[in-house]
């Protein structure tokens, strides 16, 4: 049964992002990773099992999602992975006091267009504090009308498309779902755009 907030279901985007992490597992030990909108935390758990220093986060307004993060850590023998309440678009003490990070993870966070700018505001804040960090994100193509291109430009961010076949995630058993409908999954890496003259 799907939870009304969708934070207790492993969506295909999470499986694809976890596959990307597994394909890059040799680069993960020692990396400082933050997963946003983590829900059941599959990508963050995979990163932690591969040796990354992971922090899981979901909205402070969704205690059941934060509990989902904690449960995933316990089931996967990762009791020391911190779980934080971070709400997109809100500057909180938790956000301000985050330790430096190298990679931000987000699977299927671009779900509801009303959240897109809050997500990118938070990503921009984190990348400004950590200019060499990247946001690794997978998303399901749900509507041709939904785009973050204008918001990326507004927030001085750039995206690089990552083909699923480049990390073995183009297989139907990975990027599909038992849910009805079409499930085209895409991946991109978002980083700060270079400013003029740098």
Average pLDDT, 10 consecutive residues per value, the chain (198 residues):
51 89 96 94 95 95 88 92 94 93 94 90 96 94 78 93 88 52 80 69
- Domains along the chain? 13-192 (3.40.50.150)
- How many angstroms from the chain centroid is the CA of residue 115? 14
How many Å apart are CA 26 and CA 31, to the nearest integer? 10
DSSP assignments along 93-153, one per residue? HHHHTPPP-SEEEEES-TTSGGGHHHHHHHHHHHHHHSTT-EEEEEEE---TT---HHHHH
pLDDT score of 2: 42
Q: What share of the chain is helix, strand, coil (3-state, %, to 5)?
A: 35, 20, 45
Q: With beta carbons less than 8 A apart as the criterion, state whether 43 and 111 touch.
A: no
For residue 175, the SS3 value is helix
pLDDT reported for residue 57: 94
């Amino acid at each position: 049964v799907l939870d009304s907030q969708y934070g207790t279901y492993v969506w295909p985007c999470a499986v694809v992002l976890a596959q990307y992490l597994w394909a890059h597992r040799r680069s993960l030990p020692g990396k400082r990773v933050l997963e946003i909108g983590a829900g059941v935390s599959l990508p963050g758990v995979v990163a932690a099992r591969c040796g990354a220093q992971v922090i899981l986060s979901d909205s402070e307004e969704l205690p059941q999602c934060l509990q989902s993060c904690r449960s995933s850590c316990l089931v996967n023998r990762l009791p020391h992975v911190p779980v934080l309440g971070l709400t997109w678009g809100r500057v909180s003490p938790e956000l301000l006091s985050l330790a430096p990070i190298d990679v931000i993870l987000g699977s299927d966070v671009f779900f509801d267009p009303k959240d897109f700018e809050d997500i990118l505001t938070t990503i921009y804040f984190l990348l400004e504090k950590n200019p060499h960090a990247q946001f690794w994100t997978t998303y399901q193509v749900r509507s041709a009308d939904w785009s973050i291109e204008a918001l990326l430009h507004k927030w001085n961010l750039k995206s690089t498309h990552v083909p699923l076949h480049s990390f073995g995630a183009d297989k139907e058993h990975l990027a599909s779902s038992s849910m009805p409908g079409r499930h085209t999954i895409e991946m991109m890496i978002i980083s700060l755009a270079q400013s003029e003259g740098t």
